[in-house]
Amino acid sequence: MNNILNEVATLDLYKFINGDKNDRIEFSNNLGTSFNKTGFAIIKNTGFENELPRELYKIIKDFFDLEDENKIKYYFPELYGQRGYVIKGQEHAKGSKKGDLKEFYHIGNPISNDSPKNIWPIEINEFQEITSKAFLQLEEIGLQVLESIALYLDLEKNYFVDKVKGGQSIMRAIHYYPINPDDVSDGAVRAAAHGDINFITLLMGASADGLEILTRDNRWNPIKSKTDQLVINVGDMLERLTNNKLMSTVHRVVNPSRDLLNTSRYSIPFFLHPKAEMDLSCLENCIDDNNPKSFDDITAGQFLEERLKDIGLKK
């Protein structure tokens, strides 16, 4: 069996942005092939490097270090986990009844006037400034990746821009808290096996190992990037739009070894979502006799509504 990690491409985004036509085509084809085979790719030279990621991890750690009575002030169940703090164990994978062993904080587009509004913790200096700067940079990188995907799919270069920019994207700061051995006696894990809801997810290097992806032959493989790289994976919405041409791969975050159960893990994925009104009907050029239409027509907003119920954030 070939290790799936050998098929996860590591690509230079700088070449796509600043290279010639051949560089752009090569990047796009390699990205599309990696997404088709594995659902994942790794990109480097994104511009999101060095000081900002370090500052971001520091402030989210500062927030999660607060006492629970302080964090709970930023938990608003009526927002269905779309902004602010989400308490420990509330979210679970689709089809699972066990809450994940994590807590997290959601930041939406900082310059949008749409609801819901962002919630900023007053206890943490520069929280709004640093997370807002990171959000906008990651959104721009995501749009560049989607431009490459548009090229791979024979779509107009800017096909995704007006459907995604300023949409429902979310940056999620996650704390996988230290685990009591009793917490895992019933099989609970830090993040149970799941596919992401959105178009693509951008993940900077986490503070510890644990991310694993499921191969086509039903084996789990660890995946990680260097600190100056981003792991990119396809979400269910993009898989749906492309009629399975791009694959949303099931992944999970496993518990650490017993001697490390008492340690924390921090992770900050950026979920690039389209606007609610976007039509997710399968693209015509992704449907043929060998690949008939696999999904019913639905909008991004309707699909998100369904999945928020599936994962326990909305009743």
* Structure-block tokens of residue 101: 């062993």
Q: What is the pLDDT of residue 94?
A: 82
CB-based burial, 199-216: b 16+ in 10 Å, e otherwise: bbbbbbbbebebbbbbbe
| Phi-psi category of residue 118: left, alpha or beta, with phi > 0 → left and psi -120 to 50 → alpha | beta
pLDDT in tens, the chain (315 residues): 345 556 889 999 999 999 999 999 999 999 999 999 999 999 999 999 889 999 999 999 999 999 999 999 999 999 989 999 999 988 887 888 788 889 999 999 999 888 899 999 999 999 999 999 999 999 999 999 999 999 999 999 999 999 999 889 999 999 999 988 776 656 678 888 899 999 999 998 766 678 899 888 888 988 878 888 999 999 999 999 999 999 999 999 888 888 888 899 999 999 999 999 999 999 999 999 999 999 999 999 999 999 998 888 887
Query: For residue 151, which of 311, 309, 23, 275 has the smallest C-alpha distance?
Result: 23
Q: What is the pLDDT of residue 291?
A: 93
Establish how many alpha carbons lie within 13 A of residue 41's alpha carbon, considering only the half-sphere containing its beta carbon: 28
Q: What is the pLDDT of residue 247?
A: 94
How many other C-beta atoms can be found within 10 angstroms of the C-beta atom of residue 184? Answer: 16
Q: Give how far Cα 313 sits from Cα of 63, 122, 242, 270, 274, Å.
A: 21, 25, 27, 18, 19
pTM to 2 decimal places: 0.93
Q: What is the pLDDT of residue 2?
A: 47
CA distance 177 to 34: 32
In CATH terms, 11-310 corresponds, of 3.90.120.10, 3.40.50.1100, 2.30.110.10, 2.60.120.330, to 2.60.120.330
